[in-house]
């Protein structure tokens, strides 16, 4: 009986976390560059049950001991691009490809950006991000291209106040009137008079293991556990484009997250009723059966 109480309680905790994840997605429907988060649930290891019959054990079956919310996975699907008309607004339009190590053909990723090869290897679609730097000098990654310029230093800053880096890993510094700023599709800053590249380029990083990125509450991702070899700056062969005067919207699917929200609420209620049932049964066992 107590085991069933623990199982239902674990279900309540799991559904609460699932509900919180859906709520977070709904709250960020209009957040620039936000990537939807999906909660992944897993069962605790099954327990083998055996019965003692005449001194011998006979297998009865398996017993599941509950479920838990193991992790939250970001979905890096391309969000809709919204035209803002501002020269310091940028969006990334990407469709990065990876060749199958066996066939050499471009991999057809599923809707979540994942591919499972014939030998069971899981491959994720690489993702591109604007590269920013915090006050401690750590490189961070974001899809929010709403930038501003520090009037005193000319440094480009992200909406979170981080320094935007160029393609050499140094803070991006602009000179002249930012209203006349022109950037081509590769992120190269152009001379407003000649239209030729000035040698300065917005730092766009390609992360080959985006599933290992960790987000924080400031709209950026950390790559603390990703090897340096799995992060590089973009080049002309990458199928990506920097769109000036645009911002990337959230990729949250409002219909799906609403369904997830309601499903989590109903499942939480079901587990709650099971807890109440066990509580009532234990109360009777103590106050009534024990008295007999």
Most confident of 40-49, 115-124, 188-197: 188-197
Report the distance separating Cα 256 and Cα 22, nearest Å: 9
**E strands within 65-171?**
67-74, 81-83, 90-94, 114-116, 122-124, 127-133, 139-142, 148-149, 156-157, 163-164
Task: Decide if pLDDT at 290 tops 60.
Answer: no
Task: Decide if pLDDT at 7 tops 90.
Answer: no
* The pair of three-digit structure tokens given for residue 243, joined into one six-digit string: 């769109």
Report the distance separating Cα 9 and Cα 277, nearest Å: 12
Section 44-52 average pLDDT: 71
Is pTM beyond 0.85 here? no
* The pair of three-digit structure tokens given for residue 191, joined into one six-digit string: 């001379």
- Average pLDDT over the chain reads 87
The percent of residues above 90 in pLDDT, for the chain, comes to 50
Q: How confident is the model at residue 291 (pLDDT cuts 50, 70, 90)?
A: low
pLDDT for the residue 58: 73
Section 107-120 average pLDDT: 80
Dihedral sign computed on CA atoms, order 220, 157, 31, 20 = positive
């Amino acid at each position: 009986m107590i085991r069933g109480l623990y199982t239902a309680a674990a279900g309540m905790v799991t559904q609460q976390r699932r509900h919180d994840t859906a709520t977070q997605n709904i709250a960020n429907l209009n957040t620039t560059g936000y990537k939807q988060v999906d909660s992944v649930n897993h069962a605790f290891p099954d327990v083998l049950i055996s019965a003692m019959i005449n001194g011998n054990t006979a297998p009865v079956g398996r017993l599941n001991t509950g479920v838990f919310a193991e992790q939250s996975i970001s979905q890096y699907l391309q969000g809709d691009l919204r035209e803002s008309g501002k020269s310091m607004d940028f969006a990334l339009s990407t469709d990065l490809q990876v060749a199958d190590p066996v066939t050499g053909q471009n991999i057809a990723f599923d809707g979540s950006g994942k591919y499972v090869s014939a030998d069971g290897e899981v491959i994720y679609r690489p993702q591109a991000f604007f590269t920013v730097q915090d006050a401690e000098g750590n490189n961070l990654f974001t899809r929010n291209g709403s930038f501003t310029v520090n009037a005193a230093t000319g440094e480009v800053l992200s909406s979170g106040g981080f320094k935007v880096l160029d393609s050499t890993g140094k803070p991006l510094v602009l000179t002249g009137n930012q209203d006349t700023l022109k950037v081509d599709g590769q992120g190269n800053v152009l001379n407003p008079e000649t239209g030729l590249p000035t040698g300065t380029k917005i730092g766009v990083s390609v992360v080959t293991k985006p599933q290992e990125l960790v987000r924080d509450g400031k709209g950026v991702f950390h790559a603390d556990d990703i090897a340096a070899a799995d992060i590089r700056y973009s080049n002309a062969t990458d199928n990506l484009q920097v769109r000036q005067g645009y911002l990337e919207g959230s990729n949250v699917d409002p219909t799906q997250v609403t369904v997830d929200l309601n499903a989590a609420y109903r499942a939480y209620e079901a587990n709650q009723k099971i807890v109440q049932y066990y509580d009532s049964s234990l109360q009777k066992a103590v106050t009534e059966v024990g008295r007999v």
